[in-house]
Amino acid sequence: MRVEEKEQFEDEVETTRQVLQLKDKFLDNFFEDKERQLFDAFRNCDIGDDTGLQAIHMMTKSLNSLQFEIQTVMNTGKMASMSLAAELDNDEN
């Protein structure tokens, strides 16, 4: 493994550690609260309120997009960690 590649993997693992810490301390509750608020807003929205329904839909898409990005960072960190572990195993053998 090249030094640059190893450094990139280490950076990705550190970023994932930071994201997981933020997720555990803040984001999990944030997402749960926002999802509940959006569902309540949807339930209470009049059927003919196209503007309100569209706003709820856009906020839901934005929230889902953020959750997807966080999951992507976590998956990237997991793969980087696995690559580093495999390199360590190769170095030991």
How far apart are the C-alpha atoms of 15 and 63, rounded to whole Å?
Answer: 21
Q: Write down the pLDDT at residue 88.
A: 80
Q: Write down the pLDDT at residue 83.
A: 92
| Domain definitions of the chain by residue range | 3-92
Strand stretches in the chain, DSSP E: none
Q: Which is more confident, 86 or 90?
A: 86
Q: Is 54 helix (H, G, I), strand (E, B) or coil?
A: helix
pLDDT digits (tens, 9 = 90+) for 18-63: 999 999 999 999 999 999 999 999 999 998 999 999 999 999 999 9
